[in-house]
């Protein structure tokens, strides 16, 4: 009769990574936002509205940012080729690459691609933690955890990137560890 999901899924638009099938949950159990390369930008009213509705109205207990290996958006951001309009969006991933230049330096291209897919999840999960909506919820004592996961489309394994944040206080330490 009405939805009462406990989870908000922020994932990639890629047709191979559908939220419900990956976590094996039926309709009604996951609130979903997807965009190219699961990016969370502080000025994206679409994504922020989804987070606000999920947290304040549906009162979800978990927000999962789930990326995937082999992500075309991440791959495109690594190249110097022009792709038109989408390059503006992919710039957010180029930023992730720039923030983590030291970690990515010297890796072979496949490893670099995999690592950037993971780092992108961690960075976007951090962005979720820093939204005014999530900060306000934590301040008010809401039970809300933010997670970073990555899915492998080759073997179907879903990996937790060990970034679980349940309060503003934990963010810095857990982000650095991840």
Give catalytic residue positions. Answer: 12, 14, 16, 68, 71
Length of the chain: 178
Nearer to Zn ion, 55 or 161 (CB): 161
Nearest distance, CB of residue 169 and Zn ion, angstroms: 32
Nearer to Zn ion, 120 or 131 (CB): 120
Which two structure tokens, joined as six digits, stand for 15?
């047709």
Per-residue 3-state assignment (H helix, E strand, C coil) for the chain: CCCCCCEEEEEECCCCCCHHHHHCCCCCCEEEEEECCCCCCCCCHHHHHHHHHHHHHCCCCEEEEEEECCCHHHHHHHCCCCCCCHHHHHHHHHHHHHHCHHHHCCCCHHHHHHHHHHHHHHHHHHHHHCCHHHHHHHHCCCCCEEEEEEECCCCCCEEEEEEEECCHHHHHHHHHHC
Which residues are at the interface with Zn ion (CB under 5 A)? 12, 14, 71, 73
Nearer to Zn ion, 83 or 139 (CB): 83
Nearest distance, CB of residue 117 and Zn ion, angstroms: 8
Nearest distance, CB of residue 74 and Zn ion, angstroms: 7
Nearest distance, CB of residue 152 and Zn ion, angstroms: 12
CA dist 27 and 85 (Å) reads: 33
Nearer to Zn ion, 89 or 138 (CB): 89
């Amino acid at each position: 009769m009405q939805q009462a999901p406990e989870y908000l899924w922020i994932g990639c638009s890629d047709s191979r990574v559908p939220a419900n099938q990956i976590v094996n949950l039926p309709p009604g159990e996951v609130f979903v936002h997807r965009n190219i390369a699961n990016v969370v930008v502080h000025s994206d009213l679409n994504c922020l509205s989804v987070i606000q509705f999920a947290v304040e109205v549906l009162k979800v207990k978990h927000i999962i940012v789930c990326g995937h290996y082999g992500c075309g958006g991440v791959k495109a951001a690594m190249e110097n080729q022009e792709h038109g309009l989408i390059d503006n969006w992919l710039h957010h991933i180029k930023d992730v690459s720039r923030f983590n230049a030291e970690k990515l330096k010297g890796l072979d291209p496949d490893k670099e691609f995999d690592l950037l897919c993971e780092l992108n999840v961690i960075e976007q999960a951090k962005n979720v933690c820093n939204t005014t909506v999530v900060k306000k919820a934590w301040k008010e004592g809401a039970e809300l955890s933010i997670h970073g996961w990555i899915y492998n489309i080759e073997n179907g394994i879903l990996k937790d990137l060990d970034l679980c944040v349940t309060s503003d206080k934990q963010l810095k330490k857990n982000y650095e560890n991840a």
